[in-house]
A and B are shown apart, each in its own frame.
Chain A
Amino acid sequence: MIAAVIGKPVSRVDGRQKVTGGAAYAAEFNMPNVAHGSIVRSTVASGRITAIDSAAAEKAPGVIAVLTHRNAPRLAYRERHGMTDPSVGERLHVLQDDQVNHQGHPIALVIADTLEQASYAATLVRVSYAPQIGATDLGKVELVLPTQEQSDEGATPPPDRQRGDPEGALARAEVKVDNTYVIPRENHNPIEMHATIATWDGDYLTLWDKSQWVDGVADEIAAVFGIAAANIHVVSPFVGGAFGSGLRAWSHVTLTALGARVARRPVKIMLTRREMYYGAGYRPHTVQRVALGASREGRLVAIVHDAHHETSTYEEYTEALLNATRFLHSCPNVFTRDRLARLNVHTPTWMRAPGEVSGVFALECAMDELAVALNLDPVDLRLRNEPEQDEFKKLPFSSRSTRECYRTGAERFGWSRRNAEPRSMRDGRLLIGWGVATATYPANFRPASAMARLLPDGAAEVASAASDIGPGTWTSMTQVAADALGLPIERVKFTLGDNRLPRTPPQGGSMTMASVGSAVQAACRKAREEALARGGANDLAEAMRRIGEPVEASADSKPGDASQRFSMHAFGAVFAEVAVDPDLGETRVRRIVGAYGAGRIINPKTSRSQCIGGMIGGIGMALMEHSVVDPRNGRVTNANFAEYAAPVHADAPPVMDVTFVEEHDPNVNPLGVKGLGELPIVGVAAAIANAVFHATGKRIRELPITPDKLL
């Protein structure tokens, strides 16, 4: 009997490759004769190109071609709205016309023998514009409701959702809080910049790309070029972080393929760090009014959550900003609305826990303000408003461990020792604050496929087109496969990151373990059963010896009707301790304790890493991250790693305590997992902001909480 490896803290199967440099990332698939592309980007937010002079660039050493809208091949841009694209609007078309609609809009592509030659020649391209008045200030545009439309993957929630009589109940409430919370634009800032290498062989295109969805890249580039997706091979085995920036195939992928077609040789484009702020999406600048009404006993009677955020002029990006508000706490009267500010910016995109992390920040800060107004412990307030079911969908939760998370988290944190009075806890001259917030993220499950091949020597190869942007998918899938096959983990080789492998959904929305994991399990079980039947043995190794040739099985997994019967989410409770220097305004996080009900935990080691990463991401959101957009013209002033502060090691608190509460949920998916990619960043910024209030008595409602705001 082989000991099960699901639930064991297995170290990363690709760890050695990564730390020794053996793992090849997109830009590292070098080949002879590769040329380099450099993108010329607009320096106005809105306008028309009146003249573009590329003569000097064309004459520069090593230059192969300079493409502009004047000479670039026309592209098909067939209609396509993939799962990761906004369902309303049309993606950015590049080098097809003279229009500029945002800063950093690609307006020319220089291809040269070397990177240095390409980037130099790009500076020689002279562009004249007829600038137009662009909308670059969120505070100065009309807010509009999103176009209500069905996406290809299901219902996009209508923007207004109301139950009961929220305004009336708010007006009559015994206690109320009503405030506005602001989250600035944030960028994903993965260490690895986006990069693509493209090479054509006749009509057959190969792309080495940094991506969270190889199938999506193939589909999108096929639509852009008007060719069959089957003619595109996308390879993306390793990804150096992405956080959502790799969910869509951005314009640089198109430009790389276009460049390779024109140059008739392989072309590589790697975005510069500065370009990452203009061409790969970001978390949108969001403004949220949250009003809560409650009885004196601390029962919620009204929630009004009215939000707006930036999107581009050409696509309607919306995210799940308000979802949690509709079910997280019990309340009979709820109003939620999200409106758009259409700006001359490039389209925002999914960034770790898109929507949930922003919406929950506002909601959970408001809950803390309500607790203060009620003179109630903030944990107690939440427990008093635990819903019996999802009051929005009117469905039971498949499982919901908030009570257990609060109990466990509070105990591990020592919450009972908290003095509720602001500014009451000190360490020398530092003010100490303790804050808490709820985390939640949906348990998503999309159709996925996998393949398992048993070999006569008793080993197995298992494959799926999935991505591993860092959570440990290589490892966890190997564990699932080993257990389903009944093989030792060393005998199982898992492969991913290639669209020739069985199709999967994107690695986003915390759905990979549920979707791909279920498919891997199904394929492995099927292969094992087939081998045992064909080999006529109870022992797989013996069966395979008898068969003497590979046994292969493919399987699809897809959600059943559980989502009609249950509301399915992961939940958690996050506690934070901060130390604030009252004179200098510096806030540092000392401890974070998170307790999570996330279903079955396949690998406690990589899961804990996910949670630590989420906590640190939350620290960044709370205390420092901010893409500072100059409202005069829409340029990102701190588009680099020096002035865009993301947490460094010194910002990671000495204590990051992660507990997974026991949770068995047979309804979410065959594996009983809920996903952990997003959950642990949700609530962190709220817990920290609430802790800062507890420490200082100052309620900072605009992130990030920097020293200037605490003076």
Chain B
Amino acid sequence: MHPFALERPRDLSAALAFRAQAGRNDAPAEYIAGGTDMVQLLQEHVRRPDRLVSLAGLLDARIEFGPHGLRLGAAATMAEVAAHATVIERFPVISEALLESASPQVRNQATMGGNLLQRTRCPYFRDIGYAACNKRAPGTGCAAIGGENRWHAVLGTSENCIAAHPSDLAVALVALDASVETRSASGQRSVALADFHRLPGDTPHIETALEPGEVIAAIVVPASPAARRSHYLKVRDRASFEFALVSAAVALDMDGPRIREARVALGGVGAKPWRVPQVEAALAGAGLDPATLRRAAAHAAEGAEGRGGNTFKIELMQRAIVRAVETAGGRA
């Protein structure tokens, strides 16, 4: 482990000040909250900060529901949010996405903010035995292209990076038009989750819209009829404790047997949590018959690019959408 000093600031403004001088990624100073991902990355020498700035006790951990919807404090744990009665009742897709994530032990420790900022599972990123990784070491190339890429993205990739975004929670949130409240030394702002994660392009090491030193303070999710009738489907090799091969978050506003409005997002397939508006457009006004759903889901494949090991995801994600819409549509 790279030697680091653990800073435990008294309040958030002190933490923001510590971190403000630092750069964007793999900076000399990094925040740590639940640490479930950060500690792995430190142990594997993937991240080498000189300072870790602890956010313990400095961020809001409350889960609140009000006129503007659901507000999840950044320090709320995955376990707390998953088990929250209002979340289960009004935003089932969020609870389901969390319960399908990680293990109970990890969920007890990991936070909302940290979940959105966890790094990709791309094995070439996580193994410093590979020199080439544009995300870990900008400009070195991408070992995943032409390598073992069953885990990798088929949407939103670039010639510089094909890593998939690992979060289940983020997929559910992007489907529900959630936004992120941030704090920094220069104040606070709100960023739509859809704009929060960045596509790799030429700069795969820049993963989010966060400015240096900025932290996630809360996640805000607007309430809607669709959110109540929502579902998270995750496909994977084993029954638990594994990242998604493919996942689908679906929220439906139904008008009798027909879909008034659908929100659909995909996980495991995108360089970022992947909303599919073209599928949503095709579902608007549609019934729940399999042929219609299948036709609508086919739009998800637009622009998808398989690299051999991950090509199956293009078909699987369409099937996942169909199943998730059927399941959500069948809910009262």
Contacts and interface: CB of A to CB of B under 8 A. Distances in A.
B242 interface: yes
B124 interface: yes
B1 A120 contact: yes
Contact of B130 (A41, A119, A635, A640): A635
Contact of A637 (B2, B44, B127, B319): B127
B240 A650 contact: yes
Decide if the interface of chain B is mainly helix, strand, loop or mixed.
Answer: loop
Interface in A620-673: 623-624, 628-630, 632, 635, 637-640, 642-643, 645-651
A585 B316 contact: yes
Nearest to B3: A120
Given A642-B243, A708-B312, A584 B151 contact: no
Nearest to A582: B319
B237 A624 contact: yes
A156 interface: no
B31 to A, nearest CB: 20
Main secondary structure of the interface of A (DSSP, over half): loop
Interface in B280-332: 312, 315-316, 319-320, 322-323
A706 interface: yes
Given A583-B322, A648-B240, A650-B238, A628 B150 contact: yes
Nearest to B103: A648
Q: How large is the interface on B (under 10, 10 to 19, 20 to 34, 35 or more residues)?
A: 35 or more
Nearest to A638: B123
A707 interface: yes
A623 B237 contact: yes
Contacts of A119: 1, 43, 45
A706 B240 CA distance: 14
A628 B310 CA distance: 14
Given A585-B316, A630-B147, A706 B323 contact: no
Contacts of A643: 121, 123, 151, 243
Contact of B238 (A41, A61, A583, A645): A645
Nearest to A652: B239
B126 interface: yes
B2 A645 contact: no
A104 to B, nearest CB: 8
A647 B236 CA distance: 12
Interface in B72-130: 103, 121, 123-124, 126-130
A43 interface: yes
B161 interface: no
A20 B1 CA distance: 30
A708 B316 contact: yes
B148 interface: yes
Q: How large, as a class, is the contact surface on chain A?
A: 35 or more
Given A584-B323, A645-B242, A706-B237, A640 B315 contact: no
A539 interface: no
A711 interface: yes
A395 to B, nearest CB: 43
A237 interface: no
Contacts of A123: 2, 45, 128
Interface in B169-213: none
Given A116-B1, A123-B2, A637-B147, A711 B315 contact: yes
Contacts of B151: 643
A632 B237 contact: no
Given A583-B319, A583-B322, A274 B127 contact: yes
B45 A632 contact: no
Contacts of B127: 274, 635, 637, 639
Contacts of B237: 623-624, 645, 704, 706-707
A579 to B, nearest CB: 11
B4 to A, nearest CB: 10
A638 B312 CA distance: 19
Contacts of B1: 116, 119-120
A61 B3 CA distance: 10
Interface in A271-328: 272, 274
A632 B130 CA distance: 12
A419 B237 CA distance: 27
B235 A707 contact: yes
A322 to B, nearest CB: 30
Nearest to A620: B238
B123 to A, nearest CB: 4
B245 interface: yes
Nearest to A704: B237
A469 B2 CA distance: 35
A648 B316 CA distance: 24
A256 interface: no
Contact of B235 (A120, A584, A646, A651): A584
A564 B319 CA distance: 59
B319 A647 contact: no
A547 B328 CA distance: 80
A594 to B, nearest CB: 21
A708 B147 contact: no
A605 to B, nearest CB: 26
Contact of B148 (A274, A586, A628, A649): A628
A103 B123 contact: no
B150 A708 contact: yes
B146 interface: yes
Contacts of A274: 44, 127
Interface string B236-267: 11111111010000000000000000000000
A584 B319 contact: yes
Nearest to A61: B3
A588 interface: yes
A61 B4 CA distance: 13
A707 B241 contact: no
B115 to A, nearest CB: 15
B279 to A, nearest CB: 17
A651 B126 CA distance: 26
A553 B240 CA distance: 52
B3 A711 contact: no
Contacts of A586: 235-236
B239 to A, nearest CB: 4
Nearest to A640: B126
Given A272-B43, A639-B123, A648-B103, 19 more contacts: A43-B130, A117-B3, A120-B1, A123-B128, A274-B44, A274-B127, A586-B236, A588-B239, A624-B238, A628-B123, A629-B148, A635-B129, A637-B147, A642-B121, A643-B121, A645-B237, A645-B242, A651-B239, A711-B316
The 8 closest A-B pairs by CB, nearest first: A650-B239, A650-B240, A708-B312, A637-B123, A43-B129, A624-B237, A637-B148, A645-B238
16 contacts: A43-B129, A43-B130, A103-B129, A119-B43, A120-B1, A274-B44, A584-B323, A628-B123, A637-B123, A637-B127, A639-B123, A642-B121, A643-B123, A648-B239, A704-B237, A708-B316
